[in-house]
Amino acid sequence: MSLKSLYKKNEWPNNSISPVLLFIDDLSNLWIDINEDGEIQPEEDWGFAGFSTKGVFKFLEKEILSDYPEVKVTFFVPAGPREPIIKNSKIKRIALPINYNTKSKYFFKQINDNQKYEIAYHGTTHGVAGFNSSNFKQEWETFKSLNHAKETIKLGKEIFKQTIGEYPKGGKYCGYKSNKYSDDSIDQSSFLWWCRYCQNDAVERKILDPFKTGIDSNPFSAYMPKIFGNNKVIDIPCTLNSVGYLNFYSKIRNKLIVDFIKKFINIFLKMRLKRKLLFLLKHNLVISIQEHISPSREDLKRQTPNIFDDKYLLKETFAFLKNFNVWFCTGTELANWIKDKKFK
């Protein structure tokens, strides 16, 4: 079911032309000691350090969000210990459930209680590790039955309740991967909204996958929220990935070459980003920006996109959007507005 009738000019709250959301995966109770020095660094942290000045959350607030207080963030959070990318990694890691102790519960609850933020459901473990990164199975790919999926979700939701005092209202498929049981498992688990698909450039590149990007080939409606399931779960797509192209030069050792490539690519990325933003704004579509909280992985590959590599592009994006009347919101705020507008 499409919500196309909602997307007329000045139809969004306060006559804004587009809603803007910052989606960040996977804030979790995890630390990966990439430097093997026993000291937490912001780029190694996924949330384990809490509000420490050495943690990733303080980096995000100080280095990116401090100049843009209007920006709101939806953090996608695995409830249990986040599974490693690969089995038997020699890299030291600490992975714990979000309700592990008073400190971790305080951290996640304080974030969720802040009107600028919310935490949303992102599985229990995120998936199952393989012997290499290509063998990693995303969580909703692993469910063998609808009941299996629902029972796992129920477990994860209870961990959320113990941590933040309420059940999560929304969530996202891990890696945008799902199977034939996935949508029914969400529909039957009392979620208000869900992020099923990554629509970033999927239409332009003609890549349509019913379990990853969806099958909407319309260049406008693909960037609109939809509704699925008997309980009318509101489906909010990811529509913008600010980088995602920088991983290929991470193994180049010559700094001069790397700096040259970065300079050239950043010019291209800025042009591409501005063109995409103008398209979404012109047609009053949803601007939902995908990021990862950390670049660190157990296989030593750099996770992209991430808030460290994208720091300046994110700030340029927010500075650019300040020139327009946009609505900065969380996933739940957007879903509640759609629900009230459509079903009141």
- For residue 4, the model assigns a pLDDT of 47
- 130 strand-pairing partners: 86
Domain count, the chain: 1
Give the mean model confidence (pLDDT) for residues 287-315.
92
- For residue 273, the model assigns a pLDDT of 85
What does the H/E/C string look like for the chain? CECHHHCCCCCCHHHCCCEEEEEEECCCCEEECCCCCCCCCHHHECCCCCCCCCCHHHHHHHHHHCCCCCCCEEEEECCCCCCCCECCCCCCEEECCCCCCHHHHHHHHHHHHCCCEEEEECCCCCEECECCHHHCEEHHHCCCCHHHHHHHHHHHHHHHHHHHCCCCCCEECHHHCCCCCHHHHHHCCCCCEEECCECCCCCCCCCCECCCCECCCCCCHHHCCEEECCCCEEECCECEECCCCHHHHCCCCCHHHHHHHHHHHHHHHHHHHHHHHHHHHHCCCCEEEEEECCCCCCCCCCCCCCCCCCHHHHHHHHHHHCCCCCEECCHHHHHHHHHHHHHC
Contacts of 246 (CB under 8 A, 6+ apart): 262, 265, 302, 304, 309
- For residue 258, the model assigns a pLDDT of 60
Worst-scoring range by mean pLDDT, 36-40, 156-160, 328-332? Answer: 36-40
Give the mean model confidence (pLDDT) for residues 101-128.
98
- For residue 204, the model assigns a pLDDT of 65
- For residue 263, the model assigns a pLDDT of 67
Give residue 103's domain range: 4-343
Give the mean model confidence (pLDDT) for residues 104-130.
97
- For residue 221, the model assigns a pLDDT of 86
- pLDDT above 60 (res 278): yes
Provide the pLDDT confidence category of residue 254 given band limits of 50, 70 and 90. Answer: low
- For residue 200, the model assigns a pLDDT of 75
- pLDDT above 70 (res 236): yes
* N-to-C CA span, the chain: 17
Euclidean distance between CA atoms 61 and 77, whole angstroms: 18
Worst-scoring range by mean pLDDT, 54-63, 149-158, 172-181, 204-213? Answer: 204-213
Residue 58: closest CA among 39, 33, 40: 40
- For residue 211, the model assigns a pLDDT of 63
- For residue 201, the model assigns a pLDDT of 67
Domain of 323, CATH number, reads 3.20.20.370
Give the mean model confidence (pLDDT) for residues 266-281.
84
- pLDDT above 70 (res 251): no
- For residue 203, the model assigns a pLDDT of 60
Give the mean model confidence (pLDDT) for residues 311-326.
93
- For residue 222, the model assigns a pLDDT of 86
Per cent of the chain over pLDDT 70 is 85
Euclidean distance between CA atoms 58 and 209, whole angstroms: 37
Provide the pLDDT confidence category of residue 247 given band limits of 50, 70 and 90. Answer: very low
- For residue 8, the model assigns a pLDDT of 52
| Mean of the per-residue pLDDT values of the chain | 89
- For residue 248, the model assigns a pLDDT of 47
Per cent of the chain over pLDDT 90 is 72
- For residue 6, the model assigns a pLDDT of 47
Worst-scoring range by mean pLDDT, 28-32, 258-262, 334-338? Answer: 258-262
Instruction: Tell if the pTM clears 0.85, that is, is over it.
Output: yes
The alpha carbon of 66 is separated from its chain's Cα centroid by a whole number of angstroms, namely 20
Provide the pLDDT confidence category of residue 5 given band limits of 50, 70 and 90. Answer: very low
